Amino acid sequence: MSHRILIVEDEPNIVISLEFLLGEEGYDVALAGSGEEALEHVARRRPDLVLLDVMLPGIDGFEVCRRLRTEPGAPQVILLTARGREAEKIMGLDLGAACYVTKPFSTRDLLADIRRCLAVESDV
Amino acid sequence: HAMFWSMAVNVGLFTAGSAWATPGPLESRQARRFVDVFRAGDASEPPQWRADTPVAAVRALLARFLGADRTRRALDGHFRGRGLDPDGVEHGDVELMTFAEKLLAGSTGAASAHVALRSVAEEHRLDPDEVFSLLDETSRVLATSRELEDKSRQLERASGELRRANARLRELDRLKDDFLATMTHELRTPLTSIRAFTEILHDRPDLPEAKRREFLGIVLKENERLSRLIGQVLDLGKIESENLADFVDVPPGDLVHDAAATFRGRFESGGVRIELDVPEDLPALRVDRDRVQQVLVNLLSNALRVLQGDGHVRLEAALRPPGGDRRFVELAVVDDGPGVPEADRETIFDKFRQARGSSHGTGLGLAICRGIVERHGGEIWIETSDLGGARFAFTLPVAESPPDGGDPAP
C-alpha cells in the first residue's frame, strides 16, 4: 500500500511541482491550502507524512506542527520554509518536525528526506 | 532668590549666636571687632596663627573635607618637606596652619577654610569681613547650584529626546528586519518553483511535450514575477530616498485622460466600462508627472484585476474643500468590484500587506502609490464606493496660483 502524504502549501506553482514529484514516486497525495484545512484533513484521513509550509494564511505551519505532534499516532512532519533563519529551524525541530527544509530546495534531496521519514515511520 | 536670602539670614543668625553665646573676654573682643569694622583700614589685620594647635585637630578637620588618605599624604609630604618626622609633630606652627588653609580652600573656598581652621585653633572669632566672605561664597555656591540645576534639566530634556529617538530607531530597525524577512520570503518563493521545475525538466528528458510546455511556462512566469518584484523594490527605494524629478504644472484632466488612454483598450476588450468624471475648470497641479501617472496606472490595473473582465470603473477629479493654507485636488479610482474589508483599509498600503493568495501582485504596488503621494505632500486612502466596490482616493497639491489679487486669508 502506498504511503499517504498531505501537501500543505498556498503557492499554486509549488503545489504543482510537489504534486508532480510525489505522484511520480507513487505516493498517494492530498492537498491543503491552509492550516485549518490541514488539521481537518489529518484528523479525517490520517496521512503518514505532512509536507508543511510555514507561512500559511490563518494558523501558521509552526502551530499546525505543534498541534499535530501532540496527538498520539501523529504523522511525520517535514517543514518547508522560505524564511530559513537558524532560530526558526530549531523551533521547528523542537515542535516535533522530522526535518526542516529551506526553499528553494533540491528536489532530489527532498525526495530522499521523504523516503527517510517514511522508513522511520514504518520501523515504529 | 528666596533660598539665597534664607541662607543669608541663617548665616547671620549663626554669626550672632557664636558671637553672643561666647562668654567673658571673648565676648568683649567680638564686640570690639564689630565696632572696629567701621574704622577704615583696620579690617585687613593679618591672621595670627597660634603655634600650639594640636596637629590631630587639624588632621581631623582636613580629613572631613579631603578624606583621610589624601589628608595623610598631604600632611606627611608637608612635614617631610620641612625635614620633620610626620608622626613626631604634636602641635602645628604657623607654616602648617598656612599650608592647611591653602589645602582646605581648594575644597571649601578660602573664607570657609580660614574660619574653619580658626575654630580648630580655638581662635573662634568671626569678623564681618569673614561673614561677608562666607556669604559671597555661599551665594557663589548657590549660583553654581542653580546653574547645575538648569544644566540637569537640560540634560533631562536631552535624554528624553534621545530616548524617543532611540525608540524610533528601534522601531525602524524592527521594520527593516520585518521587511528583510518578508523580502527573503518573497524572493525565495518564485525561486523555489523555478528550481523545482528546472530540475524536473533537466532530470526527465522524456517528459511528454504538454507537461514540458506547462512547466516551462511556469518557469517563465515565476521569472517575470521575480523581475517585477526586484524592479518594484528598487522603485520603492528610489521613491523613499531620492528627490522626485522636476515638478511641473499639469491640469488634472490631462493626467486622468492619459491614464485612461493607456488602459482603454485593455478594459473595453474585457467588458469593463470606464468613465471619467473630471470638471474642466480644475486648477493645475504641481507634480512629478511620470510618478503621478504611475499611481493612476497602479490603481487602474488593480481595479482591472479585481473586476476580472466584467464591471465598471470611474476616474474622478475634484477640488477639495479648502481646509488649510494649501489647496488640493482629489483624484480617485472607483470600481464596483468586491471592495476591501474595513479591517484591511489601514494596512493595505503597507509593504507586502496584500491579501495572501492573490498571487498576481508583488505586494508593493500600493506601497509605491503611497510613497509617491506622500512625497507630494498628499494623502491616499480607501473607502467604500458609491458603486459598491472600492474607492481609492488621493490628494495632490494645486500649483501656486499667480498673484492676481487672490482673496486674503480668512
User: Which is more confident, B82 or B16?
Assistant: B82
Which residues of chain A does B354 touch, with a Cβ-Cβ cutoff of 8 Å? none
pLDDT above 90: residue B282? no
Q: Who contacts B80 (Cβ-Cβ below 8 Å, separation ≥6)? A: B86
**Percent of chain B topping pLDDT 90:** 28
> What nine digits make up the cell of B321?
474643500
User: Nearest C-alpha of chain A: how many angstroms from B141?
Assistant: 58
Confidence (pLDDT) at B16: 61
- Contact between B320 and B285 (Cβ < 8 Å): no
> What pLDDT was estimated at residue B129?
75
Confidence at A6, pLDDT banded by 50, 70, 90: very high
Q: In whole numbers, what is the pLDDT of chain A averaged over residues?
A: 90
Q: Is the pLDDT of residue B49 over 80?
A: no
Asked if residue B54 has a cis previous peptide bond (ω within 30° of 0), the answer is no
Helices B55-66 and B94-108 sit at what angle, rounded to 10 degrees?
20
Please tell me the distance in Å from A10's CA to the nearest CA on chain B: 7
Say whether B184 and A106 touch across the interface (CB within 8 A).
no
Residue B219's closest chain A neighbor by CA?
A13
> Which 8-state DSSP code applies to residue B312?
E
A112: contact with B, CB 8 A cutoff: no
Hey, are the CB atoms on B359 and A82 less than 8 Å from each other?
no
Mutate to test the interface with A, among B178, B185, B192, B201 (most CBs of A within 10 A): B192
Name the minimum distance, in Å, from the CA of B177 to any CA of chain A.
Answer: 12
Residue B290 pLDDT class (50, 70, 90 cuts):
confident
Highest mean predicted confidence (pLDDT) among B138-147, B216-225, B294-303, B320-329:
B216-225
Burial B87-110 (b: 16+ CB within 10 A, else e): eeeeebbeebbebbbebbbeebbe
Residue B186's closest chain A neighbor by CA?
A: A82
Residues of B in contact with A33 (CB under 8 A): 357
Q: Computed over its alpha carbons, how large is the radius of gyration of chain A?
A: 13
- Cross-chain residue pair B196–A10, CB shorter than 8 Å: no
CA distance B107 to B117: 13
Which of B179, B182, B183, B189 to mutate to probe the A interface, most A CBs <10 Å?
A: B189
Q: What is the pLDDT of residue B20?
A: 52
Write out chain B residues lying below 8 Å of A34, CB-based. Answer: none
Give the HSE-up count for residue B114: Cα atoms under 13 Å, Cβ half-sphere: 16
Averaged over A84-89, what is the pLDDT? Answer: 77
Chain B: residue whose CA lies nearest to A55: B185
- Which residues fall within 8 angstroms of residue A62, CB to CB, at 6 or more apart? A54, A79, A91, A92, A95
Q: Is the pLDDT of residue B403 over 70?
A: no
pLDDT at B405: 41
**A111–B contact, CB cutoff 8 A:** no
Give the pLDDT of residue B37.
43
What average pLDDT does this structure show over B50-55?
74
What pLDDT, on the 0 to 100 scale, is given for residue B15? 61
Angle value at C-alpha B305, between B304 and B307, nearest 5 degrees: 65
Which helix (H) or strand (E) segment holds residue B52: the answer is none
For B107-127, how does the pLDDT look when each residue is reduced to its tens digit (9 = 90+)?
777 878 887 887 777 665 667
Average pLDDT of the residues of chain B: 81
- How far, in Å, CA of B49 to CA of B299, rounded? 95
**For the ranges A71-80, B258-267, B288-297, which has the lowest average pLDDT?**
B258-267
User: In chain B, which residue's Cα lies nearest the Cα of A104?
Assistant: B192
Distance of CA B141 to the CA centre of its chain: 35
Which positions in chain A touch B200 (Cβ < 8 Å)? 17, 20-21, 107
Q: Please state the three-class secondary structure of A59-111 as a single string.
A: CCHHHHHHHHHHCCCCCEEEEEECCCCHHHHHHHHHCCCCEEEECCCCHHHHH
Q: B357-362 — which CB contacts under 8 Å span 24+ positions?
A: B357/A10, B357/A33, B357/A57, B359/A11, B359/A12, B360/B305, B361/B302, B361/B305, B362/B186, B362/B225, B362/B228, B362/B229, B362/B232
DSSP E strands, B251-358: 272-277, 285-287, 311-319, 328-335
B221 contacts on A by Cβ (under 8 Å): 13
CA distance B1 to B376: 53
Q: Is residue A56 within 8 Å of residue A64, measured between CB atoms?
A: yes
Nearest CA in chain B to A20: B200
CA B30/CA B20 separation, integer angstroms: 8
CB A87 within 8 A of CB A43: no
pLDDT at position B191 over 80: yes
- Which candidate, B120, B58, B64, B47, places its Cα nearest to that of B90? B58
The B-side interface with A (CB below 8 A) comprises 181, 184-185, 188-189, 191-197, 199-200, 203, 211, 218, 221-222, 356-357, 359
Which pLDDT score, from 0 to 100, does residue B147 have? 93
Taking contacts as CB-CB distances below 8 angstroms, the residues of chain B near A83 are 181, 184-185
Distance from CA of A18 to the nearest CA of B (A): 8
**What pLDDT sits at residue B274?**
86
B320-334 pLDDT, tens digit each: 865 556 688 999 999
B133 or B45, which is more confident: B133
| Residues on chain A touching B356 (C-beta within 8 angstroms) | 10, 57
Q: Using one digit for the tens of pLDDT, what is the confidence trace for A41-74?
A: 999 999 999 999 998 888 999 999 999 988 888 8
Residue B137, pLDDT > 50, answer yes
Nearest residue of chain A to residue B184 (CA atoms): A83
Which residues from B are below 8 Å from A84, CB to CB?
184, 188
- Judged by CB atoms closer than 8 Å, whether chains meet at A17 and B221 is answered as no
d(CA A30, CA A35): 14
Of A81, A84, A85, which is closest to residue A65 (Cα–Cα)? A81
Helix (H) or strand (E) holding B125: none
pLDDT (average), residues A88-112: 92
**Cβ within 8 Å of residue A65, ≥6 positions away:** A52, A77, A79, A92, A95, A96, A97
Confidence grade of residue B50 (pLDDT, cut at 50, 70, 90):
low
What CA–CA distance (Å, rounded) separates B49 from B63?
20
Cβ count within 10 A of residue B347: 10
Sequence-distant (≥ 6) Cβ neighbours of residue B129 within 8 angstroms: B37, B43
pLDDT digits (tens, 9 = 90+) for B342-385: 888 878 888 776 544 444 566 788 888 999 999 888 999 999 88
Q: What is the tally of helices (H) and strands (E) in chain A?
A: 5, 5
- The number of residues making up chain A comes to 124
Hey, is the C-beta of A58 within 8 angstroms of any chain B C-beta? no
Contacts with B208 from chain A: Cβ below 8 Å: none
More confident residue, B203 or B268: B203
Q: How would residue B63 be classed by pLDDT, with cut points 50, 70 and 90?
A: confident
Do B51 and B94 touch, CB atoms closer than 8 A? Answer: yes
Please give the Cα distance from A34 to A9 (Å, whole number). 7
- Nearest beta carbon to residue B359 from set A12, A107, A108: A12
Which residue type is seen at B346?
E
If one compares B74 and B310, the residue with the highest pLDDT of the two is: B74
What pTM did the predictor assign? Answer: 0.59
For residues A45-68, b (16+ Cβ closer than 10 Å) or e, as one string?
eebbbbbbbbbbeebebbebbbbb
Q: Note the pLDDT of residue A114.
A: 96
- When pLDDT is averaged across residues B228-237 and rounded to a whole number, the result is 87
pLDDT, mean of residues B204-219: 95
